[in-house]
């Protein structure tokens, strides 16, 4: 069965109230065409797991600026003024997670682990409400896995089996997110035939990708 679907079919799989992951680092590696298509629907009240909130005019930042997101789980918001404004207005909930911890929590979900132990955040607001575990003479925070109903990825190239290649730094969180969601949709710029992509260029295997759309 072909993994290629239309943009309309892709956005129809995103429903209000869902928890979604979105790849990207300051907009690089973000599924920007998918975001634009989502903004043409009435989808709202999303919880988004992402590295950062980019800028108000691009990627996940645009979803936030258009009031489609109610909660964000992220490591950085400083480049998107809309994020801060909505947070201070009480219209957006933010769970700040140190960047290294964030990617490890996503990795844990993909690997089926119960969480990670890390000293990062001890004695700070990051510790609030979390279990502290003492092991080998040291204290650690138990950080639990992060999983989503849908992951939206931005890749450079896909083959017919959904194997993905990410050019340069666009790979960022995308590959890990592909393993930590119930449904994975990749927006790609180029499509090649199966066998044309060199194995060492496959950053995300097609087994993790449910659907592909051409941007």
Residue 202 pLDDT: 96
Residue 131 pLDDT: 96
With beta carbons less than 8 A apart as the criterion, state whether 111 and 145 touch.
Answer: no
Helix (H), strand (E) at residue 86? helix 81-88
pLDDT tens across 34-92, in order?
999 999 999 999 999 999 999 989 889 999 999 999 999 999 998 999 999 999 999 99
Dihedral angle over CA of 34, 28, 146, 180, nearest 10: 70
Tokens of 104: 């490890």
* Domain extents in the chain: 7-113+145-214
With beta carbons less than 8 A apart as the criterion, state whether 68 and 60 touch.
Answer: no
Radius of gyration of the chain (CA): 17
Q: State how far the Cα of 185 lies from the Cα of 169, in Å rounded to an integer.
A: 19
Nearest to 5 by CA among 34, 42, 27, 47: 34
Residue 34 pLDDT: 95
pLDDT tens across 135-193, in order?
999 999 999 999 999 999 999 999 999 999 999 989 899 999 999 999 999 999 999 99
Question: 7-113+145-214 — its CATH code?
Answer: 3.40.1080.10
Nearest to 101 by CA among 148, 49, 61, 136: 49
Number of H-type helices and E-type strands within the chain: 6, 11
């Amino acid at each position: 069965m072909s993994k290629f679907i239309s943009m309309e079919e892709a956005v129809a799989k995103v429903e209000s109230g869902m928890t979604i992951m979105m790849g990207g680092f300051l907009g690089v590696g973000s599924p920007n065409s998918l975001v634009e298509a989502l903004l043409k629907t009435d989808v709202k009240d999303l919880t988004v797991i992402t590295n950062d909130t980019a800028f108000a005019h691009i990627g996940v930042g645009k979803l936030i600026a258009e009031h489609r997101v109610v909660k964000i789980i992220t490591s950085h918001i400083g480049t998107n003024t809309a994020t801060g404004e909505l947070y201070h207005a009480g219209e957006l909930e933010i769970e700040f997670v140190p960047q290294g911890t964030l990617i490890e929590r996503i990795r844990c979900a993909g690997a089926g682990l119960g969480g990670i132990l890390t000293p990062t955040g001890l004695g700070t607001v990051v510790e609030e409400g979390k279990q502290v575990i003492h092991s080998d003479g040291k204290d650690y925070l138990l950080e639990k896995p992060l999983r989503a109903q849908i992951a939206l990825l931005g890749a450079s190239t896909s083959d017919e089996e959904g194997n993905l290649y990410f050019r340069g730094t666009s790979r960022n969180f995308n590959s890990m997110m592909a393993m930590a969601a119930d449904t994975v949709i990749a927006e790609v710029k180029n499509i090649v035939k199966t066998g044309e992509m060199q194995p060492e260029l496959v950053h995300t295997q097609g087994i993790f990708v449910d659907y592909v759309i051409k941007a």
